[in-house]
Amino acid sequence: MRLLFLGDMVGRSGRTAVYERLPRLIADHHIDFAIVNGENAAGGFGVTETILTDTLDAGADVMTTGNHVWDQREALVFAERQERFLRPANYPDGTPGRGMGVFEARNGARVMVSNLMGRVFMSPDLDDPFVAAERQLDGGRLGRDFDCVVFDFHAEATSEKVCFAHFVDGRASLVVGTHTHTPTADHTIFDGGTGYISDVGMCGDYGHSLGMEKEEPLNRFLTKVPRGRFEAATGPATLCGVAVEISDRTGLCERIAPIRIGPRLEETMPSWW
């Protein structure tokens, strides 16, 4: 099966890029399952239910999030009823919504998607993501209960991300790092067959600061005095993500390649598409 994961969608610019390009990517390249991280979609801070619905209508099968999941307070309400909206699974018991789900892909495959958040240099400090993942994997096995297992590991430290991927190697199809908004060049397949990338980057305007207008972040570095709030940049966005081919027999990763479409960054597409 073919899976597409798109990185953090930032503001209107990022949404526009996803909505315009995702349907064609799915159709042209026979994508069986698409995941979009949408935690910065509403002006850079959280996601609304309307944005969630629009993203699903564009072809996403699941939306994952991260530390900004509750920035839009309405998410605390719609998280309970929207099964294809995931917040980090290692929030404490009783938190609204769900951190994982099992979904049917276009080819009929059973896809388990889990959203976890790291703890190094991250706020809030959630429960142990390694323990949470182990608990999830105890509930079902790749190749028996699931045809594909994907973890969105939303974290700052690359060491925490790569160690987590080693922890689930051979038990997951793919571990995708999100959060830093900067694509890394380390996409690989581990010895046990798990695909990995430290960060897929963002779907946003790379002409500013991580998808936000550069003036206020720059001001705070220079003066340490806030003059205003961060605002999502509005220039043309670059779509960043990763494409993966999963074995129908084992559920493990057979191919992985980055995707970058748009201005500023060097464009790249999988050679095997």
State the catalytic residue, choosing from 29, 30, 68, 187.
68
Is 40 annotated as ligand-binding? yes
For position 17, what pLDDT does the model report?
98
According to the model, what pLDDT value does residue 191 have? Answer: 98
Q: Quick one: pLDDT at residue 62? A: 98
115 labelled binding-site residue: no
The response to whether 39 counts as a known ligand-binding position is yes
179 is in an annotated binding site: yes
Q: Is 205 annotated to bind ligand?
A: no
Taking residues 129-151, report their average pLDDT: 97
Buried b (16+ CB within 10 A) or exposed e, 9-40: bbbbbbbebbbebbeebbeeeebbbbbbbbbb
Which residues are CB-neighbours of 135 under 8 A, at least 6 positions away? none
Domains and CATH numbers, the chain: 1-259 (3.60.21.10)
User: Is 8 known to sit in a ligand binding site?
Assistant: yes
pLDDT at residue number 89: 98
Distance of alpha carbon 55 from alpha carbon 58, whole angstroms: 5
For the segment 184-232, what is each residue's pLDDT rounded down to a tens digit?
999 999 999 999 999 999 999 999 999 999 999 999 999 999 999 999 9
Residue pLDDT, tens place only, 223-261: 999 999 999 999 999 999 999 999 999 999 999 999 999
- Residue 22 confidence (pLDDT): 98
Which residues partner with 242 through β-bridges?
5, 258
Mean of the per-residue pLDDT values of the chain? 98
Q: What is the pLDDT of residue 214?
A: 97
Predicted pLDDT of residue 26: 98
Give yes or no: 68 in active site. Answer: yes
CA dihedral 139, 142, 148, 149 (to 10 degrees): 50
Q: Is 67 annotated as a binding residue?
A: yes
Which residues fall within 8 angstroms of residue 81, CB to CB, at 6 or more apart? none
Q: Which helix (H) or strand (E) holds 12?
A: helix 11-28
